[in-house]
A and B are shown apart, each in its own frame.
Chain A
Amino acid sequence: MTTDPPCNSQTADEQGTPGSTRRRATLLLAAMLIVVLVVPTLLGRARVAEPFDQSAVDRLDSAAPEIVFLGNSLLETRIDTGYLDELAGVRSASLAVDGTGPGAWYLQLKNVIGASANRPQRVFIFFHDDLITRPISFTGRKDNTLTERLSRGIEADYRLVVSNTETFDDRIRRVFTTIYPLADASSPDRNSVGSAGAFLAGTSRAEASAAADRFFDFANRRAFANNPDIQQPKFHGVFDFVAENSFLPLLIGQANELSVELILVRVSARPMDGGTPNEPDVLARYTSDLSDYLATNGVHYIDMTGHPDIDAGMYYDGYHLINRYRSFYTEIFSELLLPDRGDNP
């Protein structure tokens, strides 16, 4: 069926459409709208929430790390925990998940680290720009399944931040998903085409996904560092306004409750080619306010912006490092840990 109108209907109006024909056409349009809008509401059903993922706690228990890292791909491309252990003589573990933000890190701190029998002494959170005060759990796609796997029950504090900061767009999406359960981004049907493709190639989706993760790993990516277009740092508002509506107070409160030392590490955006930090004044003011706030709340803070050993050539893009510099960054970071292995990172 073509979506272009047939030629004879193009000129119907110009020829003078009789009233009955117009009424009939209006009824047909109404019927079409009803069918298109109502039928999909009857398809699919609300997804059953995933249970909490206890295996993450078990893995942490068996590793018994002294240091745990929380973060996303920025952490992944910077810290090699195995190498760090060799360099600094500590046991460390990374709970990094690509695309996550402070909401997900709060749930990891509360429900995974907090539930571990071998609780670490220190938790490092890696973030960029002002991400730590942005009230989000994911920097890109919202992964409801992961949120559920990190949650125990309702998570009232977490929900409060989410609902207080929900945008108009978020609300529309939520209402839309309620009306049309098919639209749930976590539905397994979303992967059906990929599964069929893998089947045609004589493999399974799980195997193909694993092979893709290996093949397309950061280690194998092309370096775009020579691209003169430098990504501008992301900034979303003045510190006082955003901090109180963010997950940061919850993260600090939770660390205190667990008696875990919390250290926030702000990674630098790719500096300008001359080595100047790529940071507008407004973001520098934010950083200064953040530093004061953390000092007041007894939280250690490391700002890697302007670090003399880190230059633009080490960057894959605006924030991620080229894989071969991961070890070098780990060495730089280990020097921050080594002086006293404790109080003042």
Chain B
Amino acid sequence: MTFQSFDYAALLLAVFAAYWFLPRRGQNALLLIASYVFYAYVDPRLALLLGGYTIVNYLAARAIDSDRKHARLYLVLAVLASLGALGFFKYAGFFVSNMAIVLDSIGLASFDSTLKIILPVGISFYTFQSLGYVIDVYVGRTHVRRDFADTALFIGFFPQLVAGPIERASNLLPQFERSRKFRPDQVASGLSLLTWGLFKKLVIADNVGVIVDRIFSTSEPGAAMLWVGVFAFGIQILADFSGYTDIARGSARLLGIDLSPNFRHPWLASSPADFWRRWHITLSTWLRDYVYIPLGGNRSGRRRIVINVVITFVLGGLWHGAAWNFVIWGLFHAGLILIWRSGSRENGRFTGPVSTAITLLFIGAGWALFREGDLGFIGENLFSQIREIQLAAALGATALLYSLPIWLHAIIDRPRLRAYWARTDVIRTVGLTAVTLASFIGILLLRADVSADFIYFRF
């Protein structure tokens, strides 16, 4: 069930209609049922997997709490179980095919390396979220939950189940544990956020996606066209993923739940490190808190910091997909961060609007590694002859025009303007109405003919 389908609208509407008449436990039960219906809609077996994750991590957290002496063992078992399942579903094919290549090349063995394992949608997201809970219980950042239903809802809450935001127990669980009352202002902002997210997906991402797909499916697009494709993909993926997040957060807000923000105008980032503070925030903070800092973070020597950054970003790249291009994409970002870090520390460069423009350029170019698994194709075309310059310009201009609402949002979402819009409830409602109305009319008028799956559903 995807967010842009009428099926999802029907589910959300039905849940919303019943939800506000129920007591807290009833609300949670309804959300839990809706979450499993939502997930099983694609394939009922997926609900079993999600249930398995929930049971393992619930029991592990309980065991850690009740038997502190062996807490480390329970933590390791939970981590192994969760990462084992993730590894099997997501990385087994990658590992086996690469092993086959290595063994074949040294003449040891030759075998069919094609594994047919389905990738359960959203597995990377709920693996990290449930692991985060267990680790937080272990280190004492949150207390253990004895209510199985609340824990199950935390891991499976349908608006954020398949593509985040990756929530922390300390933010989401307390919201399920307290009573929620219908708040019109929260519903209004939820509707507005949901419509704006749909606009980004159906109008910007899907229309720009058509341009991107056509360019990347051409055998010899030439340099100009491929560069247009790469930067257009940067627009597509931001609109697609932040659109998903906004729909998720908007849906949750209709139900009185506030999910964490996942984007903060990443195109305005003044450095690659700043980009990661603005892009997929819940993943980058997860990696920071559960990988980078435990590795030593910034507290160790220069050489060790380099290693920590590289490990964290390679893992971040691999989290996105089991393919070498994601590893290289991670290395590319690690390299950018280290170069910026050394440049700004030693001679004060790489700051201000120039740095923002250069960051945008490098991050944009890096999407080539993310979008295309065949690096040979990138190498052959990205610096090849320029063909069809006018067509490339027309497609690039079209993609840029589609991105204008995102730029506009970045401008009007500045703190001073936010404060202005928040002055009175009437002004606030006028603003929300304007955004919602414009988004809705935009969807009616400009939506793409066919809506593709969300890009992050693959991860």
CB <8 Å contact, A1 and B435 = yes
B142 within 8 A of A: no
- Closest chain A residue to B373, Cβ basis: A227
Residues of B within 8 A of A216 (CB): 214, 217-218
A185 within 8 A of B: yes
Residues of B within 8 A of A187 (CB): 445
Residues of A within 8 A of B253 (CB): 5
CB <8 Å contact, A2 and B445 = no
Residues of A within 8 A of B435 (CB): 1, 3
Complex CA gap A103/B394 in Å reads: 35
CB <8 Å contact, B220 and A220 = yes
- Closest chain B residue to A7, Cβ basis: B422
> Which of the residues B185, B377, B421 comes within 8 Å of A25, measured between beta carbons?
B185
Residues of B within 8 A of A32 (CB): 188, 191, 429, 432-433, 436
CB <8 Å contact, A3 and B183 = no
Residues of A within 8 A of B440 (CB): 36, 40
Chain B, residues 180-208, CB within 8 Å of chain A (1/0): the string is 01011111110111011000000000010
CB <8 Å contact, A208 and B394 = yes
Which positions 3-38 of chain A face chain B at CB distance < 8 Å?
3-10, 12-13, 17, 22, 24-26, 28-29, 31-33, 35-36
Chain B, residues 397-438, CB within 8 Å of chain A (1/0): the string is 111111000000000110001110110011011011111110
Complex CA gap A221/B213 in Å reads: 11
CB <8 Å contact, A196 and B183 = no
CB <8 Å contact, B388 and A29 = no
CB <8 Å contact, B184 and A22 = yes
With an 8 Å Cβ cutoff, the count of chain B residues facing the other chain is 66
Residues of B within 8 A of A223 (CB): 219
- Tell me the dominant secondary structure on chain A's binding face: helix
A2-B413 contact given A182-B441, A202-B390, CB 8 Å threshold: yes
> Which of the residues B219, B397, B422, B434 comes within 8 Å of A201, measured between beta carbons?
B397
CB <8 Å contact, A190 and B446 = yes
Complex CA gap A13/B13 in Å reads: 23
CB <8 Å contact, A2 and B418 = yes
Residues of B within 8 A of A31 (CB): 429, 433
CB <8 Å contact, A4 and B193 = yes
Complex CA gap A298/B261 in Å reads: 64
Chain A, residues 31-50, CB within 8 Å of chain B (1/0): the string is 11101100110011000000
CB <8 Å contact, B394 and A198 = yes
Complex CA gap A189/B220 in Å reads: 32
CB <8 Å contact, A9 and B398 = no
B246 within 8 A of A: yes
Which positions 357-399 of chain B face chain A at CB distance < 8 Å?
377, 388, 390-391, 393-399
A115 → B minimal CB distance (Å)? 29
Complex CA gap A25/B417 in Å reads: 22
CB <8 Å contact, B377 and A222 = yes
A231 within 8 A of B: no
- Closest chain A residue to B431, Cβ basis: A1
B408 → A minimal CB distance (Å)? 10
Residues of B within 8 A of A9 (CB): 185-186, 422, 425, 428
- Closest chain B residue to A205, Cβ basis: B394
Residues of A within 8 A of B412 (CB): 1-2
With an 8 Å Cβ cutoff, the count of chain A residues facing the other chain is 61
B444 within 8 A of A: yes
B312 → A minimal CB distance (Å)? 28
Residues of B within 8 A of A44 (CB): 444-445
CB <8 Å contact, A28 and B401 = no
- Closest chain B residue to A25, Cβ basis: B184
CB <8 Å contact, B390 and A201 = yes
A339 → B minimal CB distance (Å)? 37
CB <8 Å contact, A220 and B394 = no
Complex CA gap A39/B434 in Å reads: 11
- Closest chain A residue to B418, Cβ basis: A2
Chain B, residues 201-242, CB within 8 Å of chain A (1/0): the string is 000000100000010011110000100000000000000000
Residues of B within 8 A of A5 (CB): 185-186, 189, 253, 428
- Closest chain A residue to B5, Cβ basis: A169
CB <8 Å contact, A198 and B444 = no
B346 within 8 A of A: no
> Which of the residues B187, B397, B444 comes within 8 Å of A200, measured between beta carbons?
B397
Complex CA gap A197/B394 in Å reads: 5
- Closest chain A residue to B253, Cβ basis: A5
Residues of B within 8 A of A194 (CB): 398
A169-B6 contact given A36-B437, A190-B446, CB 8 Å threshold: yes
- Closest chain A residue to B214, Cβ basis: A216
CB <8 Å contact, B187 and A29 = yes
Complex CA gap A182/B446 in Å reads: 9
CB <8 Å contact, A6 and B421 = yes
- Closest chain B residue to A218, Cβ basis: B217
CB <8 Å contact, B246 and A196 = no
Which positions 177-211 of chain A face chain B at CB distance < 8 Å?
180, 182-183, 185, 187, 189-190, 192-194, 196-198, 200-203, 208, 211
Residues of B within 8 A of A6 (CB): 418-419, 421-422, 428
> Which of the residues A29, A190, A222 comes within 8 Å of B445, measured between beta carbons?
A190
A192-B446 contact given A2-B412, A222-B218, CB 8 Å threshold: yes
B413 → A minimal CB distance (Å)? 5
Which positions 140-193 of chain B face chain A at CB distance < 8 Å?
181, 183-189, 191-193
CB <8 Å contact, B189 and A211 = no
The 7 nearest A-B residue pairs measured at CB? A197-B398, A6-B422, A1-B431, A201-B393, A201-B394, A141-B449, A25-B184
Interface residues of B (CB under 8 A from A): 6, 114, 181, 183-189, 191-193, 195-196, 207, 214, 217-220, 225, 246, 250, 253, 258, 261, 377, 388, 390-391, 393-402, 412-413, 417-419, 421-422, 425-426, 428-429, 431-437, 440-441, 444-446, 449-450
Given A5-B428, A9-B428, A12-B183, 5 new contacts (CB under 8 A) = A35-B437, A36-B433, A197-B400, A198-B398, A228-B114
Q: List 6 A-B contacts (CB under 8 A).
A: A29-B184, A33-B191, A36-B195, A36-B433, A172-B6, A183-B444
